[in-house]
Amino acid sequence: MNFWQKPAETLQELLQRKAPHLRQIRHFYSDQLQREVDLDVYLPCDYHLSLKKYPLLIFNDGQDLPRMLFARILERMYYNQEIKGIIVVGIYANHDRHREYGTARQPDYKGRGDRAPQHRDFILQELLPMLRSRFRIKKKRTRTAIAGFSLGGLSAFDIAWGNPEVFGAAGVFSGALWWRWSPVDDNNPDADRIVHDIVHNSAHERPAPQRFWFQCGTRDETDDRNRNGIIDSIDDTWDLIKAIRHRGVSEAQSQYCEIQDGTHDPETWGVAMPEFLRWLFVAMKEEGGVF
């Protein structure tokens, strides 16, 4: 539609559009990671029509968001008024993904995740300050969340759990929660999982309340190391949920989503994404809630 021919109709059409505005940041140099990082920033559809500030959601493995048509998911949810405006940032991983994602406390038994502390510090010391200086973002921890897929989900949980003063919530899609400091022992197959140990050894009283959302697909994998008839990804997720509840995270503050026949890929994560986003904004509306 030509604005100069029909300005009123064109303006009305623009106002009715609910697609997020994609801002691509390329070659952002990180001193912590000693490399350039690519970012996708999904701004709310009304970002340029107001001066208000928005909540922030950061995704590890941001390169998977386009594959699941994330912009269309946001557009549909904005159009149906299922969620309000949020700024979403996808961090692209590179060939060092298995070194930068993991748990900051220690690498796994194969040495993977040895640069997880640098990835954590990149987010806390470089990414967050840059985003808050360039975009209108609410700074409260209750308006800040982090999420990720697979190994990126493990990293997101670890960063949120270790920094409750920064992140009010975390989302874990098909999390690589099997991350362990020793090979599987057939006599005790569920032992030595690093993130479970981190939670078990945390203080009973958390310094600030947090919310956690977990997703698994029933076909995420086929491994069943303890031979209980449940695939490891689901077992590991439920064991982590039990662990965080033992450390004071209430049942209302944690959520589990299981996708029947869901597999370990962006297509399944895209199916789960609307539920995750609705979960975040339900929490936002709750009086006195974390979000």
Give the model's confidence band at 206: pLDDT under 50 very low, under 70 low, under 90 confident, else very high: confident
Q: Quote the pLDDT of residue 281.
A: 87
Predicted pLDDT of residue 285: 61
pLDDT tens by residue, 250-278:
999 999 999 999 999 999 999 999 999 99
Q: What is the pLDDT of residues 156-202, one digit of tens each?
A: 999 999 999 999 999 999 999 999 999 999 999 999 999 999 999 99
62-118 pLDDT, tens digit per residue, is 999 999 999 999 999 999 999 999 999 999 999 999 999 999 999 999 999 999 999
Class of domain 18-283: alpha beta
Domain boundaries, the chain: 18-283
d(CA 207, CA 46): 35
